[in-house]
Amino acid sequence: MREGHNGYCPSPGITPAREAIAAEYNGRGWPVSPDRVLVTAGTSEAIDLALSALLDEHGEVLVPMPTYPLYTAVVAKLGARAVFYRTDPSAGWLPDLDHLARVLTPATRAIVVIDPNNPTGATYPVATRKALLSFADKHGLAILADEVYGDIAYEGSVAPLGSLDVAALKKLADGRLCSTVPMQFGIKAALEGDRAHQAAFRAALRERAAVTTRALQKMPGVSLVAPTAAFYAMPKVELPPGKTDEDYVLGLLRATGILCVHGSGFGTSPADGYLRIVFLAAPKELQDIYAEMSVFTAQFLQR
C-alpha cells in the first residue's frame, strides 16, 4: 500500500499473483497457465462467477447434500436448479455414486465437489475422486472443485481436481472491476513464502478433531463420523419423536451458551438430528464444552 498499489488493476488480477497461483498449481501436478487464473474476492465470488457462466434458467447443477449453502443461494439467484446428490454418513460421508447417476438429467451442466468438505469434515479417497472425474467426463459436466480447505487435511494437502471454461469466466470477471489490489500483492508472498505455520495449524486442528471425535463418540445418543480435514464435524443426535435439529440446537444454546448449526441449515432433514460443530476453540475449552453438551444431551433425550 505504501508503494501506491491502491487503485484498480485488470479484472482477472495482477500478473505476479496470477503467476504465483499458476506456479502453485503446477507444483501440485495440475498444469495451468497464468492467463487461465482469475483472482476473485474470495471463493464466494469464484462460485458466483462459475455458476453464472455455466447455468441459465433451465440449467441444473449437482450439489452435495449436506451442502455448503452458498451454492444453493447463488443457484436460486440465477433462477436455475440445484439437484442434491447424497453423501453417505455410513461410508465416511463419501458421495453416493449410484445416487449421483440417478439424479443426472439432460439439463445437468455441472457438479460441485467440496473436498475437503464443509460441513462434514470429510476428504475423498483417490478412487472416489477418479470416479467423480470420470462421471463428469462421461456426461460432459464441468466440475466446480471447491478446495478451500485443501491444505488443512490432517493426512496432508488434497491435490487439485478439476478445470473450467475460463473464457466464459473471463467475460464475467470483466463485468466487475477487480479483486482488491493491495491484497493481491500478498498472494505471491503467501504462496512462495515460508509455510511452516501450516504444519503447526494442521497439528492443532488434528488435536481438536481427536478431542471432538472422542467426546462425541462416547456421548449417549450421539454418533459421529470422525472428521479428516478442516475444523468441522457433523454429529447426529437421536432425537426424541417430534423434535427437530433446531429444537436441539436452540435448547443447547439457551441452556449452555454453546452454539452449533442445525443440519437442516445445510439441507439435511430436520428430524435426522444432524448438527455442525466448528471446533476451533482450545482443546481444554473444547473438553469443557463437550462435557456441558453431554449433560444437556442426556436431559434433552429424556424429554
Q: Which residues bind ligand PLP (CB under 6 A)?
A: 42-44, 68, 114, 118, 146, 148
Given the complex with ligand PLP, which of 51 and 222 has the nearer CB atom? 51
Name the residue nearer to ligand PLP (CB basis): 53 or 222: 53
Q: Which residues contact 155 (CB under 8 A, 6 or more apart)?
A: 123, 228
- What residue is closest to ligand PLP based on CB? 42
Nearer to ligand PLP, 229 or 293 (CB): 229
Which residues, at least 6 apart from 23, have a Cβ–Cβ distance to it below 8 Å? 191, 192
Q: Minimal CA–CA distance to 123: which of 244, 26, 230? A: 230
No. of H helices and E strands in the chain? 10, 10
Block residue for cell numbers 449436506: 66
- In the block, residue with C-alpha cell 501440485: 28
Q: How far is the CB of 287 from ligand PLP (least distance, A)?
A: 25
Cell of 193: 513464502
Closest approach of Cβ 152 to ligand PLP, in Å?
11
Tell me how far, at minimum, the Cβ of 66 lies from ligand PLP, in Å.
11
Q: Tell me the closest approach of the beta carbon of residue 128 to ligand PLP, in angstroms.
A: 17
Rounded distance, CA 239 to CA 189, Å?
49
Residue 126 CB neighbour total at 10 angstroms: 8
Task: State in angstroms the smallest separation of the CB of 205 from ligand PLP.
Answer: 14
Beta carbon nearer to ligand PLP, 86 or 297: 86
User: Nearer Cβ to ligand PLP, position 45 or 246?
Assistant: 45
- Give the residue with the Cβ less far from ligand PLP, 19 or 48: 48
Which grid coordinates belong to 213?
Answer: 471425535
**Calpha distance 118→85 (Å, rounded):** 15
Other CB atoms within a 10 A radius of the CB of residue 210 amount to 15
Nearer to ligand PLP, 89 or 239 (CB): 89
Nearest to 55 by CA among 30, 33, 80, 83: 80
Q: Please confirm whether the linkage preceding 116 is cis (ω < 30° from 0).
A: yes
